[in-house]
């Protein structure tokens, strides 16, 4: 028995991974696969990855095969600080412009289209590209980046460019939180390895709880060394993100899904989330 764990290769997922006892999990035949969200989404859909963080949009696209893990997500109530539309022109002039989208995202690309098309009635031409601000802006008027690519680009943004935070734009329109990443598990893995799934789940939960109770220290000190930026920025970043996945976050996500369905991005409407009843599993965290 073994489980392949998807690990989003952006700092925003670290609270769930920083305090994991990786050696103990590896002894239980767990393997970690660090990739950007779009690759993890694909890996889980193909059955190469069993459990871990994926784009919230990818859950909706495969809802019948997956179960969501409660109390784990990457969500923001307003500003997310790492998902931006960078533009050469102000928002009121973006209608009709060419926009490049990062190839690493599934949730945020649809979120951007929902905001621009549904809420602002804009019509734009979209191209998908590798995440690279300057290359994206060569033939486009604006580009959308997520994760560490967005954080870095915001820090080094050329003068005169505009940056719009998608979490903030969504919140202005809906008053709801937006969940970008969920933790999902393939139903097959639950059926075949319930206890190990329980162990991995409780390990994520414990890492998140330790991250929060220690106010993201010393995790942030490590991030400053590896990713640069100011300690204050990272402290605020993690404090502003919400890592829960309860009734309020689920309500925001269902509204996102309803708009994605209405606009033809999802083949089926998702009116309910299949969230794992972890209370029934007696497994302990590996830590
Ligand atoms: C908050 C973020 O959420 C990310 C956005 C995702 C997406 O757009 O598909 C997927 C996973 C999250 O890591 C971010 O990367 O900045």
139 within domain boundaries: yes
Instruction: List the pLDDT tens digit at each of the 287 positions of the chain.
Output: 799 999 999 999 999 999 999 999 999 999 999 999 999 999 999 999 999 999 999 999 999 999 999 999 999 999 999 999 999 999 999 999 999 999 999 999 999 999 999 999 999 999 999 999 999 999 999 999 999 999 999 999 999 999 999 999 999 999 999 999 999 999 999 999 999 999 999 999 999 999 999 999 999 999 999 999 999 999 999 999 999 999 999 999 999 999 999 999 999 999 999 999 865 555 666 65
Query: Rounded to the nearest whole angstrom, what is the distance from the C-alpha of residue 150 to the centroid of ligand 1?
Result: 10
Q: Atom 10 in ligand 1: which residue has the minimum CA distance?
A: 55
- Structural domains of the chain, count: 2
Ligand 1, closest atom to CA 41? 9
Based on the fold, state whether residues 107 and 69 are members of the same structural domain: no
Based on the fold, state whether residues 54 and 96 are members of the same structural domain: no
Query: Rounded to the nearest whole angstrom, what is the distance from the C-alpha of residue 282 to the centroid of ligand 1?
Result: 31
Q: Among the three residues 147, 174, 201, which one is the final residue of a domain in this structure?
A: 174
Q: Among the three residues 174, 195, 213, which one is the final residue of a domain in this structure?
A: 174
Ligand 1 binding pocket mutation candidate from 147, 169, 223 (most atoms within 8 A of CB): 147
> How far is it, in rounded angstroms, from Cα 115 to Cα 83?
13
Query: Rounded to the nearest whole angstrom, what is the distance from the C-alpha of residue 236 to the centroid of ligand 1?
Result: 17
> How far is it, in rounded angstroms, from Cα 226 to Cα 224?
6
Based on the fold, state whether residues 14 and 100 are members of the same structural domain: no
Ligand 1, closest atom to CA 150? 16
Residue 200: domain span: 3-75+178-280
CA angle at 222 for the pair 216 and 225, rounded to the nearest 5°: 140
How distant, in Å, are the alpha carbons of 3, 163, 186 from that of 32? 9, 34, 16
Q: Which residues line ligand 1 (CB under 6 A)?
A: 8, 10, 12-13, 37, 55, 74, 80, 82-83, 105-108, 146-147, 150, 180-181
Based on the fold, state whether residues 13 and 92 are members of the same structural domain: no
> How far is it, in rounded angstroms, from Cα 175 to Cα 168?
10
* pTM for the whole structure: 0.97
């Amino acid at each position: 028995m073994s489980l392949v764990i998807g690990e989003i290769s952006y700092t925003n997922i670290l609270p769930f991974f920083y305090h994991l006892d990786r050696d103990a999990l590896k002894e239980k035949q767990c393997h970690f696969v660090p990739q950007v969200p779009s690759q993890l989404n694909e890996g889980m859909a193909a059955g190469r990855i069993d459990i871990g963080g994926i784009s919230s949009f990818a859950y909706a696209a495969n809802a019948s095969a997956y179960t969501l893990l409660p109390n784990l997500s990457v969500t923001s109530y307003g500003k997310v600080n790492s998902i931006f539309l960078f533009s050469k022109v102000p928002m009121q002039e973006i209608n009709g412009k060419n926009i490049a989208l990062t190839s690493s995202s599934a949730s945020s690309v649809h979120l951007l289209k929902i905001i621009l098309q549904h809420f602002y009635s804009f019509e734009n031409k979209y191209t998908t590209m590798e995440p690279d601000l300057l290359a994206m802006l060569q033939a486009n008027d604006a580009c959308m980046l997520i994760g560490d690519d967005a954080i870095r680009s915001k820090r080094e943004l050329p003068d005169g460019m505009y940056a719009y935070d998608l979490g903030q734009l969504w919140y202005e329109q809906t008053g709801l939180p937006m969940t970008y990443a969920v933790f999902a598990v393939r139903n097959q893995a639950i059926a075949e390895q319930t206890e190990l799934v329980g162990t991995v789940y409780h390990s994520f939960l414990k890492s998140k709880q330790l991250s929060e109770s220690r106010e993201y220290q010393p995790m942030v000190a490590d991030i400053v060394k590896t990713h640069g930026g100011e300690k204050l920025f990272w402290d605020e970043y993690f404090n502003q993100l919400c890592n829960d996945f309860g009734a309020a976050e689920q309500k925001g996500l269902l509204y996102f899904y309803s708009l994605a369905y209405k606009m033809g991005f999802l083949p089926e409407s998702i009116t309910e989330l299949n969230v794992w009843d972890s209370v029934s599993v007696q497994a302990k965290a590996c830590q």
